Structure 1
């Protein structure tokens, strides 16, 4: 077992030094067995439980500064809600660390296995171990094995729980992580990272597996580290994500916004629809998976919209509507169907058909999460099949689009990209793969020409 040094303060290191230390830490984490990585996660969870006073004190300082901000610097109510660390949120953060620990090991999985040849060259005298079962076998064999990405940089805004979610997923998947928090959450993030680093060091693991960089000038420095950082994940506003995408050669995984829709079909159960919309808007309106637009089929709009307006009025939701919707209920005009309110506000539109609803979603949505409310199974299946989004749902709240709720333990972010990972990004999204080839003196030249050896190319399940 290696013995790690005491945690190093990131604030006295350059960005280059932090990235180099993270790369070195990643090389220590990658070959660790699952038991060692799980022990580190349990140590992290216990450390968080024991540091509640320190964490709440740091968060109180962040909140004090946040409340004093005015003008353009003032934080919205949604951001303040994300920023505040409560007893229940801290318990959930600890639970998420342990839920990640309980997940199956994402590393060393055989994603594919192909027998390339079932015989050895004549020079070979011995059979070799093949694969995880360590059985002796002859021939040339290839396996596709899951491995860590190595170093992941995550840029996020006012989310204390992002620190623990990301760190837990990184350690479980054998990656080092560099965190860049928004200035509004810096004190809380510093306290959280200090606690996590001390837990890692106590387990004999490198503290640099979880690192922190502060200050806007560090962002561009980090984005230039393409030789040390393997993926950047921005979690925040559309402006942040687009800035990161435009200013780095490192692969970027992120979503620019969460303009989520619920379509209430003509065959909807109206009470069910009200229940789902209520949850999707009011459970946590600051979340990117909260509903921002409700589309209602014209055939039921006259009956359903007044009920929706009353339900939303009771819940304190400000409604915006198109001309047809406003004729049936009290609502403000819709300024922009692309708006991600992030507050107790919601747009409502009336559409003549399922096709019109899907057209609206494809024109104005952000390919994040879309839901349909209907009792017509055929209509539901069309929606689920044809709507292009990372998550599509039937008779369910958009709030389910979440790594923890999907059983991923937590999430490092939600991706609306079609590259590498899509939707809530859990452990699988932090892994890649490599090809492992085992032979016994096999050479490519033996397979050339009319008299060359032939490949068998049998999948493992087909091989003898």
Structure 2
């Protein structure tokens, strides 16, 4: 990894050349680099945390003055319980995954001596633009190296001290391995972003990680394919037969485990027949943890009989159901048993498909058929049954770590791990075979599928 101030085209050319070399390395070579990366970050923990503390101090002042959101501040702090260790473990988890490169997914004998294979291969050069989240540097370096991709990283100004410290450590570690140092480059200056986004002949994929404004800026200013999501507007539907214990555990965890995360719950849809049974139990647990409930008229009325802390029960407005709060705020809406959209589950699906950002949605029910209908009908990257939205995470999916979350409907969706950073190519082996022999009828196709 190198910290560079070169021009955009020179950075992109360096990455492109490095990607060609990376694609030829063995899995052992790439794994050795990840071991070196992990060990160097572990040995330099104190140095990196000191640098991160300087970033956090400046960011705290900015948050207090209203110049920085508190959600970004939370994402910035590497000293948060277990965060640094999770970063280190993520590198080892990626290292220990199967090699994603060179896997044959199709093998066809076109004719005697003419063999076609479809083989997984790296995408090439990745441009990752992120805000806060200094651990992203290590996560992406590990994923890029393991998947044989070169990566160009641009961090936000709020994490400058952290990513400079991390980049120096990673650069020293990689220089002692077979991985080209130019495989992972960090750029500091903000002005260079627009120029990098113009390098569509050298950069193969852009991955923005940060605010809605960042993602939309990237999508509107490049011809390079973009993988990512602007919002994490996750919803849960509480069906009439929901198990109360399951409902409380799942919904409270989804909202309060880490409210600033993109996979935290933002909207709760409640079947009208659950308003006076399961919903009050859920609402009480949420408010006991400081969650402000913004309810429609019927949901608010259902809570009149329970003690509610001052200020935590409010009237909802339409925009609440389209808002990613990233805070201890939850919008609540009643779903009628029947209506213009059909049954309650159909109405819940219709609401989610209209308002959701297509990240992750949950249904709480004891009925498999209802759950299956919901999971088939909701058009999101993740659809869960009786499980918290917080499981939508690369580490928790067993991907080692993730480069981001994709709500796209091409190539890859959900947490993007190694498989999402690979594509495929077709390899054909012949022995002087000519296409004209088949068009003229001299030879006939076999098209015989072979075992992988």
TM-score by length of 1: 0.91
Match of 1:439 in 2: 430
1:304-325: per-residue Cα shift (whole Å, max 9, x none)? 3322221112111111111111
1:71-120: per-residue Cα shift (whole Å, max 9, x none)? 886222211110001162111100000000011100000011111102xx
Q: What is the SS of the residue equivalent to 1:202? A: coil
Contact 2:208/2:214 (8 A) holds in 1? yes
Q: Compare 410-419 and 14-23 and name the one that shifted more.
A: 14-23
Contact 1:15/1:213 (8 A) holds in 2? no
Separation (CA, whole Å) in 2 of partners of 1:367 and 1:452: 52
Unaligned ranges ≥5, structure 2: 337-343
Separation (CA, whole Å) in 2 of partners of 1:9 and 1:192: 10
Match of 1:261 in 2: 235
Q: Compare 67-76 and 42-51 and name the one that shifted more.
A: 67-76
Contact 2:266/2:323 (8 A) holds in 1? yes
Match of 1:345 in 2: 329
1:158-198: per-residue Cα shift (whole Å, max 9, x none)? 11121111111100000111111111112111211221121
Match of 1:63 in 2: 56
Separation (CA, whole Å) in 1 of partners of 2:74 and 2:3: 29
Unaligned ranges ≥5, structure 1: 1-6, 119-138
Matched, 1:454 2:433: no
* Alignment match of 2:380 (pick from 389, 395, 417): 389
Match of 1:332 in 2: 314
Match of 1:160 in 2: 134
Are the structure 2 counterparts of residues 8 and 417 from structure 1 closer, same or farther at C-alpha, using a change threshold of 3 Å? closer
* Alignment match of 1:181 (pick from 134, 152, 155): 155
Separation (CA, whole Å) in 1 of partners of 2:334 and 2:155: 40
Are the structure 2 counterparts of residues 439 and 70 from structure 1 closer, same or farther at C-alpha, using a change threshold of 3 Å? closer
1:241-278: per-residue Cα shift (whole Å, max 9, x none)? 11111110101111110110111111100111011111
Give the ranges of 4+ consecutive aligned residues of structure 1 lying more than 6 Å apart after TM superposition: none
* Alignment match of 2:292 (pick from 309, 312, 318): 318
Contact 1:362/1:387 (8 A) holds in 2? yes
* Alignment match of 2:88 (pick from 90, 94, 107): 94
Corresponding pairs, count: 434
Are the structure 2 counterparts of residues 152 and 101 from structure 1 closer, same or farther at C-alpha, using a change threshold of 3 Å? same
Matched, 1:209 2:183: yes
Separation (CA, whole Å) in 1 of partners of 2:436 and 2:332: 67
Q: Compare 213-222 and 70-79 and name the one that shifted more.
A: 70-79
Match of 2:341 in 1: none
Contact 2:132/2:158 (8 A) holds in 1? yes
- In the TM superposition, what is the alpha-carbon distance from 1:204 to its structure 2 partner? 3.7
Separation (CA, whole Å) in 1 of partners of 2:381 and 2:442: 47
Match of 2:218 in 1: 244
Matched, 1:111 2:108: no
